[in-house]
Structure 1
Amino acid sequence: MPFFSVIIPVYNKEKYAQAAVKSVLNQTFTDFELIIVNDCSTDNSRKEVSKIISEQIKTIEHLENKGLSASRNTGIKNATGNFIAFLDADDEWKPDFLATIKSLISTFPEAQLFATNYEELYADGIKVIHNQKLSKLGNDFLVDDFFELNLGKPIYFPGSLCVKKTVFDEIGYFDEKITYSEDIDFNIRTNLKFKLAYSTKALVTYTMFSENQITNSSVKNKVFPDLNQYEIYTENKFSLKKYLDFNRYIFARKFKAQNDLERFQKVTSEINFKNLNYKQKLLLRLPNSIVNLIFKTKSLFLKKGFMVSTYD
């Protein structure tokens, strides 16, 4: 039985999938199996991945396209390791990612969730590391309040997360009905119940551009998480209430940018604006033409190596 089961869902990522797989096989900690779930790719993803030969690789083929959550769930259900790590097919791990997760598992036995920081890779080759202020809490630490720490750039994303397999027995799998921001729903369910151990090392490269990347695609017909179902937990956890409103702001901004005014009005009506900062409130009220100009200016700053954010 391997220590880790690593799951890579693949759907039309022929330019990136090989690099993702190789970044797993190049880990310094080698006690793992790699489960690749091909979700009916229509490009050459399957062909590219099949060029890599390793006894550690198991490939599963979906007979129909089921989506990212279903692909992750397929991997989880076929995993034999006690710890499940995820990597999307357009992202990459640094060689010591699994070794660092193994160290977190040994150091913090009370935790059942484990994650590291990450770097964002943009189309022009610029890499940005966020959450560096967390180093004041130590290089490795047990997170006291996940929701409070995630009122800005997430401290981890699925590609930098590892979950003890027994967690899925208690809280279930990824919600396959959700087709946009499914990780937010999963993060709420897991972090309400389990402890998270965290390393501030940026050990994952998160690609901010690629084919079929859902964060850059249209939200039309996408199913978003129902954040209202978690309001019942906010009475004794105010940080969760702020986290819900922060993500409603993110959703509202997306709806507004794509002129989905019905859903924009619905989600903004659910926000307690006391939980947003002045920049976030302003962006929701400005016309799209001005917001687009602001984000174009933000992109110019990024090319100069400066990150301007509405999260601070």
Structure 2
Amino acid sequence: MPVHNGQVYLAEAVDSILRQSFSDFELIVVNDASTDQTASILDGIRDARLVRLTNESQLGVAASLNRGLAESRGRLIARMDADDLSVDSRLQRQVDFMQTHPSVVLCGSEAERIDAQGQHLRDIKRLHHNIEIRWHLLSANPFIHPSVIFRADAVKRVGGYDPNLRCAQDYDLWCRLALEGECANLPERLVRYRLHANAISATKRSEQMRVTRQKSMAHLVDSGVAGCQDQSELFLAFAARSGEPHRIWDYPRPQWNQFPEMVDRFFHCFDDPADDATAACRRCRQTIRRMVLRHVNHVGLNWGAAYQLFRLARRVDPEGMGMRQITSRSLRRALRRLPLRGSHKGNKAASLDEFASRHDPSRMVI
């Protein structure tokens, strides 16, 4: 647990760990040169499991975490922030899971979002299966940082946190850890994740998005999904969320065909015949199909581009009901959002009927 001037929530955060139902642990708190009452609060806690480390000068979150990792003795390391709370069963649930799933190197959980006063705001859901998490990790962070537990040897093998990063240090580490083993999220709210004015996620969001994108591009290449930086950029254009730059129509349409090829390379990494893996792949392909079709709704696309997107969606999810059983009526509904081109401008309804009848995706042959 790193802390810098965290006197407001520190005692409550520490107490939520010390009262865990699982008791065989050491709690390492790294005081990053705090100038408030942080040191006094820690000195007032009488528990032999509490290990206090103090930085003489402020090193930052990543360097403080690395110092804690270097001093730790456990084979499993759970992360915790000085302004969040863990439910009493958190460590027991995660330790049990890691012991029964030796292939998993990183495990998080869902969370409850709370405000500065500890009042409920909303529940934070997360993907649970390794395959779905690994897909999400290609473009965004699938973990809540203070909810994770990881294997100490794996983290030390990949070099720990990068002290040169001011933000998104966790996402950078997850990308490297995912190359060492499997990932998971428990389907339980094991942490209470606080939102307040001084949170890093609120004050450095722009830089966090920039660093995350940079690390995403590198991870796409390192994981073998993308063959080069240009392919990484195209992948992120398809995966872009609301408000993000790099739209797919900034790229020549022939390049769009590289996206399903990258999707195939991703799934070739998983050959687990287990039922849960098959179901996870199914859900993942459905998500990718919806991601592709989402771009149809943009007003800047023409009909030819829309048709190509339907074809790409069929390629990434050939078994999906959304592509095999889509009707001309549903295609018309999507196309009505698109601007008319050339001679079709005079009769929108007729031109849509003609296009939909000629390009019914249920009859597509890829």
1:25 corresponds to which letter in structure 2?
A: L
Q: Deviations over 1:57-83 (max 9, x none)?
A: 110000111111111111000001111
Alignment equivalent of 1:217, drawn from 203, 210, 214 = 203
- Cα separation, 1, equivalents of 2:207 and 2:143: 27
Alignment equivalent of 1:202, drawn from 174, 189, 201 = 189
Alignment equivalent of 1:50, drawn from 19, 43, 61 = 43
Alignment equivalent of 1:110, drawn from 76, 89, 103 = 103
TM-score under structure 2 length normalisation: 0.60
Q: Contact 1:93 / 1:203 at 8 angstroms: preserved in 2?
A: yes
SS of alignment partner, residue 15 of structure 1: coil
What corresponds to 1:167 in structure 2?
Answer: 154
What corresponds to 1:20 in structure 2?
Answer: 13
2:222 corresponds to which letter in structure 1?
A: Y
2:18 corresponds to which letter in structure 1?
A: L
Distance 1:231 1:150, change over 3 A: closer
- The offset of 1:126, in angstroms, is 2.9
What corresponds to 2:221 in structure 1?
Answer: 232
Which of the pair has the greater relative contact order for Cα pairs under 8 Å at 6+ separation?
1
SS of alignment partner, residue 187 of structure 2: strand
Q: Deviations over 1:22-51 (max 9, x none)?
A: 000010000000100000112212222222
Q: Contact 1:111 / 1:196 at 8 angstroms: preserved in 2?
A: yes
Distance 1:44 1:198, change over 3 A: same
Distance 1:251 1:179, change over 3 A: farther
Alignment equivalent of 2:145, drawn from 151, 158, 167 = 158
What corresponds to 1:85 in structure 2?
Answer: 78
Count of residue pairs brought into register by the alignment? 251
Q: Which has the higher strand share?
A: 1
1:209 corresponds to which letter in structure 2?
A: H
What corresponds to 1:176 in structure 2?
Answer: 163
Q: Which has the higher helix share?
A: 2
2:211 corresponds to which letter in structure 1?
A: F
- The offset of 1:209, in angstroms, is 0.9
Distance 1:185 1:251, change over 3 A: farther
- The offset of 1:193, in angstroms, is 2.6
Q: Contact 2:112 / 2:191 at 8 angstroms: preserved in 1?
A: yes
- The offset of 1:121, in angstroms, is 1.1
Distance 1:127 1:152, change over 3 A: farther
Bigger-Rg structure (1/2): 2
- Cα separation, 1, equivalents of 2:34 and 2:108: 29
Distance 1:120 1:150, change over 3 A: farther
Alignment equivalent of 2:29, drawn from 27, 36, 41 = 36
TM-score under structure 1 length normalisation: 0.69
What corresponds to 2:53 in structure 1?
Answer: 60
Q: Deviations over 1:103-153 (max 9, x none)?
A: 101221221222221111134723311327x5xxxxxx6522423345898
- Cα separation, 2, equivalents of 1:70 and 1:241: 29
Q: Contact 2:94 / 2:149 at 8 angstroms: preserved in 1?
A: yes
Which deviates more, 109-118 or 212-221? 212-221
SS of alignment partner, residue 66 of structure 1: coil
RMSD (Å) for aligned C-alpha atoms: 3.6
1:230 corresponds to which letter in structure 2?
A: H
2:36 corresponds to which letter in structure 1?
A: D
1:176 corresponds to which letter in structure 2?
A: P
Q: Contact 1:118 / 1:156 at 8 angstroms: preserved in 2?
A: no
Q: Contact 2:79 / 2:146 at 8 angstroms: preserved in 1?
A: yes
Which deviates more, 271-280 or 174-183? 271-280
SS of alignment partner, residue 186 of structure 1: helix
- The offset of 1:190, in angstroms, is 1.0
> Within the alignment, does 1:186 sit opposite 2:173 as a pair?
yes
- Cα separation, 2, equivalents of 1:185 and 1:251: 22
- The offset of 1:166, in angstroms, is 0.6
What corresponds to 1:300 in structure 2?
Answer: none
SS of alignment partner, residue 105 of structure 1: helix
- Cα separation, 2, equivalents of 1:249 and 1:40: 39
What corresponds to 2:131 in structure 1?
Answer: 144
Distance 1:278 1:208, change over 3 A: farther
Structure 1: which 5+ runs fail to align?
Answer: 1-7, 135-140, 254-267, 283-312
What corresponds to 1:131 in structure 2?
Answer: 125
Structure 2: which 5+ runs fail to align?
Answer: 250-255, 257-290, 300-366
